[in-house]
Structure 1
C-alpha cells in the first residue's frame, strides 16, 4: 500500500517527535521539534548542540526511498541557514520502532567537526 501525502506527513511528524524526545531524554531537555520556516529552513529540531557548544542541524527523514545525496544537500543548506557547526540526517529504519536504533548520516567534514568542535576548511 502506498502512502498518501497526509500519511507521509503524519509519519514524518511522528519520526521527528520521537527523535526529539529521544535526544531530549539523553542529551538536553530543551531539544524540541522546530517550527517550519519555509525558504530559510534550519532543520527539524532545535536545541541540539555539540560538546563544545556548536549548534547541530538535524534533518529527520521517514521515507521508503533512500536519497542520501539529496538529503546531504538539503542538510548542508539548512546548516548554513542556521550558521551551525554540523548537519546530520536521522533517517528511519523501517520495521524498527526504537528511536535509538535509527540511522544517522553526515559528511566526513561534519564528523570531524563533531569530534573536534571545529569545522575543517574545505579542500
Structure 2
C-alpha cells in the first residue's frame, strides 16, 4: 500500500471508530468503487463522509480552490450513494481526535438539515464546523442515536 493510501486509511478508520462511539454505531468504511465512489465512510444510512488527511489539509493550508474541488468530489460521491447529506472531513493538525477535525457542508444542505428556510444568494458556499458539531446536528435531525449518557 502506498504511503498516501495508508495515511488515508488511518484517517478513515479513526473517523469510523469515533463515529461508532458518538452515536453512529453502524459507521463503516466504504468499499472502493472506482469512478462510482460513494464516499470514504458511510456514517449511517443517508450520510456519507469524504475524508482528506494529507499534509496541506492537516496543516490548515487548504486554499479555496482545493476546498472547492474536494466539495465537488464530495457532491459527486453523495449523488452516487444517493445520500441525504454528505460531509467533507479534513484532518486537523494538532489533534488526533476526529471529533475536532474540520467538517464542511454546503450552506444550503446545512440549512435543509437544520430545518431553516432562508433565501440565499449562493447555497453552495461551504460551512465549516467540527465533526463533533456536525454529528450532534445530524443526531438532532434523526440520524444516528444519542451516545450512552448523552441526551439530545
Q: TM-score range by the shorter chain?
A: 0.7 to 0.9
| CA-CA distance at 1:95 after TM superposition | 2.8
SS in 2 for 1:95: coil
| CA-CA distance at 1:8 after TM superposition | 1.4
Measure the CA separation in 2 of the matches of 1:47 and 1:71. Answer: 18
1:68-107 pair list within 5 angstroms: 68-107=67-106
| CA-CA distance at 1:113 after TM superposition | 2.6
Corresponding position: 1:18 with 2:14: yes
- The CA RMSD over aligned residues, in Å, is 2.4
Measure the CA separation in 2 of the matches of 1:70 and 1:64. Answer: 17
Q: TM-score, with normalisation over the residues of structure 2?
A: 0.66
Aligned twin of 1:46: 42
SS in 2 for 1:46: strand
> Would the alpha carbon gap of residues 99 and 30 (structure 1) be closer, same or farther in structure 2, given more than 3 Å must change?
same
Where structure 2 has 5 or more consecutive residues not aligned to the other structure, the ranges are 57-61, 117-121, 124-152
Where structure 1 has 5 or more consecutive residues not aligned to the other structure, the ranges are 50-54
Aligned twin of 1:64: 55
| CA-CA distance at 1:9 after TM superposition | 1.1
Contact kept? 1:86, 1:113, Cα under 8 Å: no
